[in-house]
Structures are given as structure tokens and as C-alpha cells.
Amino acid sequence: MTPQWLLRTPSARASALAEAAFRGKVTVLTANSAAHRQGQRLRHSIESLCQGLAPPSLQRGLDPSEFHRRVADLRNRIAADLEIVEGFRSMLLDTGHDPTETFWDHPQLRVMPGRDVPGRARLRRLAAHRDTWGSNLMAQINWWMNLYPHPPGQGLVMYPGCWDSPVENASADWDFNRLLALRAQGQGGRYPRLPLSRRPPDPELARALDLPPDQPVVFSGAQLHGSGMTQSFSTRLSVEFRVLRTEDLLAGVGAPNVDGRAPHVMLRWFRRLSDDMPLERAVKIRQVKSDRVTAVSFSGY
């Protein structure tokens, strides 16, 4: 039986996805044709770049330094592939997102080893976190999609029981500019790429989402989640991006902020779907309250 916090549907419109996300629901799109086409396109590109290695077996077939090199090259090439970026735009258009009223961060390929690999923060399991601890934008909606089958427990892990319960975290102290400065010095691994929980949530609250490929998961950036981990050598490949709709920002709607204390609002992470205009050029924030961004006005239209 599907739990109450999880919605499974062949397709859904942007407004319904947002409404569900802001109520703490996680939606799985089980038959989105644009997602299926995009999954096929990504796998073709990934496999052509893996030089004969099966992508889920990357960790098994390579020593750590070569694994790091291959993963970095793979991520960079996928990020620069305009056809792939356009395919993700099609996914959003397919669900009714208005390209002139929707902002996103560009899609990113995530390569997650079954076991932690020393030396690269981006290849380590990401502990429990809310994305909004970093962005401070409670209207943010996350999209995540698995690309290959993986062992049970290695998918996305949700903590729906923490939706409206405070979790001790590092959001008040985290500084994105500090992260960028350390990355420029080649020391980005010394600083968390997002604010994380200060202590692990109760394992009894964890709910693993082990989904087949090409089924997008849509949820609020305020939903507590993390990366699953196994003791296998299977490498999980997934893709993710985040979305903001101007109608949500203007209306001041979004998820409740039960524990975020981020000192900044990260508008610079987002660009308009239609023309890549930075959100920070289109938005003026006149006030930030403790529970959400308020008093938003738009320019540049």
C-alpha cells in the first residue's frame, strides 16, 4: 500500500505538483513520456563516454584516482550537452510549467558510489538535509530521477516524519561564498556543499525510494532527505534539478520553515527557463521573515 506521504501518478500538472510538495507530499511520475525519452538520451550519452565500462560498475572497474577523473569528465560533458538540457526543459513543459514564469538551476548528473570514495566531497554520501537550509527559498521544488537499476537502499532516502519537526542543522553558519573560495583553491572537499543535519535522524524515520529508471520524483526543497548507502560496489547514477515558479514567490506560498536559519537568499542559483535570465536580476526581495521570503516584486519581463 502506498504511504500517505507518497503520491504515484502517471503525470501531473505544475500547479498540482507544487501544491502537493508544499503539503509535504512526494510525487513520483510513473509514466512521463518526456522523462522516458530523456532517460534514454542520457544513458546513450553516458555509455558512449564510459569507454566500454557499464556505468553502474564504474567503481568496481577503476582505481579511485581514475574513478574520480572519469566521473568529473562525465559530469562536465553531460552538463555541457545542450540537447540534454533541452530535454529537461521538455520535461518541465510537459508538466505545464510556463517557461517565462519558471526558474531553475541547470540539471546535474549525480554519480554516487555504493561505498564512499576518499578524496572527493561530491562522491560521498550526502547526509540528511533540507535544500532550503542553503537556498532559503521555501517555494523551491526538487526534481530527481534515477537512471539505472541499483541495489535496494541505494536510492533517495526521505524522512517524511520530519516534515514539520525541527532538526538541528548548520544552516546559520553555512556560507556559499566560503565554499566557492575553497573550491577555487582546490580545497572544496574541506567544506560541506550544503548545510547538513548536525546529528543523524532516527533511522526508524528513514524511507528509501528505490525506483526504476525514468520515474521523476518531485518534492519540496524543505523535505528532509539524503543519499542511501550500501556496501556494494554498484554506482548509482541519477540526475537532479530545482525549480521555482514566480506565482508561488509572488503569492508568498511554499513549505513551512521549521528550522532553517540561512542568512542569505540564494537567488543566484536560478535562471529563467525561457531565456536563462538570472533570477537575481528579475527579483527584488524587500523583506525576509524567519519563516519565508516575503514582499517579492519582479522586473525584467
Are 247 and 99 contacting, i.e. CB atoms less than 8 angstroms apart? Answer: no
Residue from 234, 51, 18, 86 nearest 147 by CA: 234
Q: State the pairing for strand pair 26-29/6-9.
A: parallel
In whole angstroms, how far apart are CA 181 and each of 173, 185, 186? 16, 7, 9
**pLDDT at 153 (0 to 100):** 81
Give the contacts of 263 (CB within 8 A, at least 6 positions apart): 172
Least confident residue range of 180-184, 229-233, 272-276: 229-233
Q: How confident is the model over 158-195, as pLDDT tens digits?
A: 999 999 999 999 999 999 998 889 888 887 778 888 99
Query: Between vectors from CA 22 to CA 214 and to CA 162, what angle results, nearest 5°?
Result: 90
**pLDDT at 238 (0 to 100):** 94
Q: Which CATH architecture has domain 6-269?
A: Sandwich (2.60)
Task: Give the confidence band of 297 by pLDDT, cuts at 50, 70, 90.
Answer: low
Residue from 182, 200, 199 nearest 191 by CA: 182
Give the contacts of 292 (CB within 8 A, at least 6 positions apart): 138, 139, 252, 254, 257
pTM: 0.91
Amino acid at 286: R
**pLDDT at 274 (0 to 100):** 95
**pLDDT at 123 (0 to 100):** 55
Averaged over 246-254, what is the pLDDT? 92
Distance of CA 11 to the CA centre of its chain: 20
Task: Identify the residue with better confidence: 165 or 52.
Answer: 165
**pLDDT at 294 (0 to 100):** 46
Task: Give the confidence band of 87 by pLDDT, cuts at 50, 70, 90.
Answer: very high
In whole angstroms, how far apart are CA 17 and each of 27, 100, 198? 7, 18, 30
| Mean pLDDT comparison of 59-73, 82-96, 184-198, highest-scoring range | 82-96
In whole angstroms, how far apart are CA 193 and each of 66, 154, 198, 278, 285? 23, 20, 14, 21, 25
Instruction: Classify residue 116 by its DSSP letter.
Output: -
